[in-house]
Structure 1
């Protein structure tokens, strides 16, 4: 099975447990990977005005990836989705930060593009609303079905 990894917003602006960064890093070293990085531009996405919070204007990915795409807002940029579609993969493994918002938004974008998004629950962190990521995983399972709970389910061996 041909797979790619989408790493969502694993960056300094968000509290990312070291074990998540390390786990994603180990996986991105053995599978083609794409990362998104959320950067602040109030003229594009009104984070500060509406939420009183904003990501940095110069964050970088905490995990090395084959390609990095900058985004503004919850959705991955269309160029990232087009790039993943161009890889002709059987499924896109998704991990990262904000399981019930940005990670879920990536799932919708991938699904709408005809790709098969698959959440890696052990490598996904929720927001301050649900740091465990359980809410995001439940929403993901409801909308897309495919949630893996451990690395032995990846089929990489």
Structure 2
């Protein structure tokens, strides 16, 4: 199965837990990887005006993915989707921050592009409303069906 890992917004300004960073890093080099970094540009996404907060304007990924794409707002950029399409994948594994918002938005973008989005349930963290990510996992299963855990993923990875 041709698959890649899409890492959503694992960056300093969102203070990801160390277990999440380490878990994602353990997959780097085992399959193609792409990371998004959310940056603030009020002219593109009105975070400050509408929500009263915003991500950093100059953050970097904490994960050394094969490719890193900047995004503004919740959804991965079209450049990210185009790059993934160029890899001729069967599915895209999604992990990272904000299971019920940014990860879910990535799932919709991937689904609309014809991919099989698959959530790595034990490599996501939810928003402050539900840090467990449980709400996001339930929404993901409702909309996209496919989820995996690290132990299930290991059966698809080449042994190291």
Q: TM-score, normalised by structure 2?
A: 0.95
Counterpart position of 1:156: 157
Deviation at 1:28, TM superposition (A): 1.9
Distance 1:7 1:124 in 2: 9
Alignment deviations for residues 76-123 of structure 1 (CA, whole Å, 9 cap, x no partner): 001101110110111100000000000000000000000010000100
Deviation at 1:9, TM superposition (A): 0.4
Deviation at 1:13, TM superposition (A): 1.2
Counterpart position of 2:133: 133
Deviation at 1:22, TM superposition (A): 0.5
Aligned length, in residue pairs: 156
- RMSD across aligned C-alpha pairs, in angstroms? 0.8
Residue aligned with 2:26, SS = helix
Alignment deviations for residues 13-44 of structure 1 (CA, whole Å, 9 cap, x no partner): 11211010000011123111000000000011
Deviation beyond 2 Å, 4+ runs, structure 1: none
| 1:116 and 2:116 are equivalent in the alignment | yes
Structure 1: stretches of 5+ with no match in the other structure: none
Deviation at 1:2, TM superposition (A): 1.1
